[in-house]
């Protein structure tokens, strides 16, 4: 029995609480299985009217997934990594399609796997502590857990910018972009959770009553530059546009992109281009699972984890090392569907 996840019923509220404070509540396989079990148990339970997701002790909300395990598995046969992705994506999809209202409290770091937990929820609460990001291109991965779906639906080209750079959005940014439905001061969260337990039929009313005016969303000030310089789905054209601009913001952004995996950036652009036209979220997760199964065993992911998480030298040696060396053929291989007996399924 693990204590990494706490699931309990509080009045009419089913509460899912992430409880790995030393890992900033990063998800492991057991936690994903626990979320699925709780959602299934509460699905037909008339006593549960609303499901909330937050973190228990320490800082939160959720820093991502069990990256070290994924890299160790990827260096071998990849089976443990595929098992984790398969279960995590089922959890993401179950939340996306869940019939009962769900509320995520994104109070703190909300990255990677945490994004996958929060964004399917009907109500998403940001605070002054929210730090939302999909930083996967820095470790040779890509914005998964539905990133191709969610980021491709942000205003203008902000999704492409966030996917490539790993830029951190604050709570005000999240509210302005629709990633959050409400902005509450963190000091009001206990009152919000108590209010939901008392009147679960009026979630919007409870949250609206405690919401405050968010600060200025700084990302909107950058949107004209983002829309202009990230207009292309071709990585080399984005890099050329930033270099040609030569301004302070463009120069800093170009420097950031030059630290990221060229393979991962091309995968991310393709993922968002496909995701914008994906018929259903189930289709999105099926594609992301196939891409993840391929990417997790490639050099850049194993090297990225080594450089950023294991050795912490922050000097990854990407292969291919340059965008033009990442061929269209390589991207097609990464996006190739899996055989039917290996493909992701929602159940």
Give catalytic residue positions.
Answer: 65, 113, 136, 144
- φ/ψ (deg, to 5) at 234: -105, 120
Give the C-alpha separation, 5 to 8, whole Å: 10
User: 3-class DSSP state for residue 74?
Assistant: helix
Give the C-alpha separation, 237 to 277, whole Å: 22
Q: Is-contact 87 29, C-beta < 8 A?
A: yes
What is the residue whose two structure tokens read 């820093």?
Answer: 63
Ramachandran bin of 10, using left for φ above 0, alpha for ψ from -120 to 50, beta for the remaining angles = beta
Burial 236-258 (b: 16+ CB within 10 A, else e): eebbebbeebeeeebeebbebbe
Q: Is-contact 165 118, C-beta < 8 A?
A: no
* Terminal-residue alpha carbon distance, the chain: 23
**Encoded tokens for 285:** 């997760």
């Amino acid at each position: 029995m693990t204590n990494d996840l706490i699931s309990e019923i509080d009045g009419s509220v089913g509460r899912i609480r992430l409880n790995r404070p030393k890992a900033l509540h990063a998800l492991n396989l057991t936690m994903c299985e626990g979320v699925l079990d709780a959602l299934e148990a509460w699905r037909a339970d008339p006593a549960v009217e609303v499901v909330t997701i937050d973190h228990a002790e320490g800082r939160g909300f959720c820093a991502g997934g069990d990256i070290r395990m994924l890299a160790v598995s990827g260096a071998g046969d990849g089976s443990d990594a595929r098992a984790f992705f398969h279960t995590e994506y089922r959890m993401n999809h179950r939340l996306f399609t869940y019939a009962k209202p769900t509320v995520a409290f994104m109070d703190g770091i909300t990255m990677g796997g945490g994004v996958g937990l929060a964004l399917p929820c009907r109500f998403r609460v940001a605070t002054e502590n929210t730090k939302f990001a999909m930083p996967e291109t820095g470790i040779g991965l890509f914005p998964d857990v539905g990133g191709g779906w969610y980021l491709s639906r942000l205003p203008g080209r902000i999704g492409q910018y966030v996917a490539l750079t790993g830029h951190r959005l604050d709570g005000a940014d999240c509210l302005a972009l629709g990633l959050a439905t409400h902005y509450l001061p963190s000091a009001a969260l206990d009152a919000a959770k108590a209010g939901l337990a008392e009147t679960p039929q009026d979630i919007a009313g409870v949250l609206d009553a405690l919401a405050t005016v968010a600060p200025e969303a700084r990302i909107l000030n950058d949107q004209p530059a983002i829309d202009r310089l990230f207009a292309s789905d071709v990585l080399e054209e984005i890099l050329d546009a930033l270099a040609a601009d030569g301004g302070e913001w463009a120069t800093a952004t170009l420097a950031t992109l030059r630290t990221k995996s060229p393979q991962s950036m091309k995968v991310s652009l393709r993922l968002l281009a496909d995701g914008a036209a994906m018929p259903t979220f189930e289709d999105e997760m099926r594609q992301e699972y196939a891409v993840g199964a391929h990417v997790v065993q490639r050099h850049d992911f194993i090297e990225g984890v080594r450089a950023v998480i294991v050795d912490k030298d922050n000097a990854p040696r990407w292969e291919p090392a340059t965008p033009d060396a990442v061929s269209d053929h390589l991207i097609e291989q990464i996006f190739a569907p899996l055989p039917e007996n290996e493909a992701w399924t929602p159940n």
